[in-house]
Amino acid sequence: MSDLPDSYLEYPHRSHGMDHDRYDWSMMVKRAPIKWPNGARVALWLVPTVEWFPLDMGGGPFAIPGGMARAYPDYWNYTTRDYGTRVGIYRIMKVLEDLGLKASVAMNSAIAERHPYLVEEVNRLGWEILAHGVDMGHPHYGGMEREDEDALVRQALGTLRDVSGQAVRGWLSPIRSQSANTPDLVAAQGVDYICDWVNDELPYEFRTASGAIHALPLANEIDDQQMLVTLGQSEADFVEQIKDQFDWLYKEAENGGGRIMAISLHSWVSGQAYRVKMLKEALGYIAGHDGVWSATGAEIVDAFKE
48-74 pLDDT per residue, tens = 999 999 988 876 777 787 778 777 788
The residues that bridge with 208 in the sheet, in sequence order, are: 211
Helices assigned H by DSSP within 165-200: 182-188
The residue that leads in pLDDT, 13 or 152, is 152
CA 247 to chain centre: 22
Look at residue 280 and tell me whether its pLDDT is greater than 70.
yes
Cα separation of 133 and 51, whole Å? 9
> By C-alpha distance, which of 177, 82, 98, 165 is closest to 129?
165
What whole-number distance in Å separates Cα of residue 242 and Cα of residue 279?
Answer: 10
33 band by pLDDT with thresholds 50, 70 and 90: very high
> Quick check: 105 pLDDT over 80?
yes
**How many Cβ atoms sit within 10 Å of the Cβ of residue 150?**
17
Task: Say if residue 221's pLDDT is above 90.
Answer: yes
Q: Which residues pair with 107 in a beta bridge?
A: 50, 131
- Is 206:212 a contact under the CB 8 Å cutoff? yes
Burial of residue 227 (number of CB atoms within 10 Å: 0-12, 13-18, 19+) = buried
262 pLDDT more than 70: yes
pLDDT digits (tens, 9 = 90+) for 107-138: 999 999 999 999 999 999 999 999 999 999 99
- Please determine, for residue 161, whether its predicted confidence score (pLDDT) is greater than 90: yes
Paired sense of beta strands 211-215 and 193-194, if any: parallel
Q: Which among 29, 93, 104 is positioned nearest to 257, based on CA atoms? A: 29
Which of 127, 124, 134 shows the shortest CA–CA distance to 48? Answer: 127
Question: Strands 170-171 and 204-208, how do they pair?
Answer: unpaired
Burial bucket for residue 241 (CB in 10 Å: 0-12, 13-18, 19+): middle
What DSSP element (H or E) covers 82?
helix 75-83
Give the residue-averaged pLDDT of 185-196. Answer: 99
Strand 104-107 and strand 193-194: the pairing is unpaired
Tell me how far apart the alpha carbons of residues 276 and 306 are, in angstroms, rounded to a whole number: 36
Across 51-102, the runs of DSSP E, i.e. the strands, are none
Asked if residue 20 has pLDDT above 90, the reply is no
Task: Please give the CATH topology (third level) of the domain spanning 35-305.
Answer: TIM Barrel (3.20.20)
**What is the C-alpha to C-alpha distance for residues 148 and 52, in angstroms, rounded to an integer?**
20
Per-residue DSSP letter, 72: S
Half-sphere exposure of 230 (CA within 13 A, CB side): 12
Predicted pLDDT of residue 69: 75
Q: What integer best gives the mean pLDDT of the chain?
A: 94
